[in-house]
Amino acid sequence: MKYLVKARVKPGREADLLRAIGDGTLGLGSVAGDEYLRNMRQARLLADGGATWVEVCYCTEPLEEELPYWQEYFDEIVIKDAHARSNCRDLKGTEAWACSECDCTERLEEKMESLGTPFLVALNQNFTTE
């Protein structure tokens, strides 16, 4: 299933987040692998200073595996279905792991690109990773 995630970087954790993204340790140890890094590369800055991104998750509970990794750097995390569950071939059981290659990913990512500034650009402009 695809989820729309909105979150705010915890105060004082910005440089640590940038460092974890830069050295590839964000999400280290998770079965989701490089998904965390991809999410941050595609995340967009919201007008209120938070971030939003689309995330693929196959957990029974949305982001069950990923949430502890995100909570290390983010708070005010809101997770919503990115599209109707009735349209998800993986959830319906008609095609296992369908979200990996589903064309809805491309449409969602194109829509996200129109939201404005990339989150990492804004984060890099405001914080350094000494």
Collapsing DSSP to helix, strand or coil, 106 comes out as: helix
Structure confidence at residue 129 (pLDDT):
46
Distance of CA 97 to the CA centre of its chain: 18
Tell me what the mean pLDDT of segment 73-86 comes to.
Answer: 85
What is the rounded radius of gyration, in angstroms, for the C-alpha atoms of the chain?
A: 15
DSSP state of 34: T
Distance of CA 120 to the CA centre of its chain: 12
pTM of the model: 0.83
Whether 97 and 90 have beta carbons less than 8 Å apart is answered as: yes
Whether 32 and 99 have beta carbons less than 8 Å apart is answered as: no
DSSP state of 117: S
Whether 26 and 93 have beta carbons less than 8 Å apart is answered as: no
The candidate with the shortest Cα–Cα distance to 39, out of 84, 7, 85, 75, is 7
For residue 68, give every residue at least 6 positions away whose Cβ sits within 8 Å of its Cβ, in sequence order, or none. Answer: none
Whether 117 and 123 have beta carbons less than 8 Å apart is answered as: no
Tell me what the mean pLDDT of segment 44-72 comes to.
Answer: 91
Within a 13 Å sphere around the CA of 124, how many CA atoms are in the beta-carbon half? 11
Q: In this model, does residue 2 exceed pLDDT 90?
A: no
Tell me what the mean pLDDT of segment 118-123 comes to.
Answer: 94
For domain 2-120, the CATH class is alpha beta
Give me the residue spans of the domains in the chain. 2-120
